[in-house]
Amino acid sequence: MAATVSIYNSFRQYIGDGTIDLTKAAGSGTGLYLALVLSTYTYAAANTIWANVSTYEAATGDGYTTGGAELTTNTLTYSGATATFDADDVAWAALTKTFRYAVLYVNDTVNSIVKPLICCITLDSTPADIVVSGATYTISWNASGIFTFA
């Protein structure tokens, strides 16, 4: 099972105009969050804010809290004309949920944009639902980073 990262169109603008800071420090509750999203969501590159997706999020309970988990140790490194974004892996303990996607967004209002979207990750390229029953579920980022852009 391989994951696929799909960048929202607005992310390009948000990076260019400074709306999104990928290295925003965790711990304030206004950082970058990763939320688990149901298969009833259909990725649309034109989505711009978390409200476009939030109604499809997994419900609170059974090891999950709506809004998702905050990313920690966010880094942006540069090599020539390429930037690579990475963060620590994300885990939910004792999770019992069925979902298909993880959506990365900023949990804050920035430049008058309420919770701007970054990317949608299809967790199984089949695509198929991920079913977790009372176990720790970890999203382990690729050793080369979450995504790169030039």
What's the number of CA atoms in the CB half-sphere (13 Å) around residue 91?
Answer: 9
pLDDT recorded at residue 3: 87
Tally of domains in the chain: 1
pTM of the model: 0.95
pLDDT recorded at residue 33: 97
d(CA 123, CA 104): 13
Q: How many other CB atoms sit within 10 Å of the CB of residue 122?
A: 19
With b for 16 or more beta-carbon neighbours within 10 A and e for fewer, the 33-52 pattern comes to bbbbbbeebebeeebbbbeb
Task: Supply the range of the domain harboring residue 91.
Answer: 4-149
Best CA proximity match to 70, nearest among 19, 24, 38, 135: 24
Tell me the three state secondary structure of residue 129.
Answer: coil
Q: Could you tell me the mean pLDDT of each successive run of 10 residues in the chain, 150 residues long?
A: 88 92 83 97 97 98 97 94 95 98 96 96 94 97 91
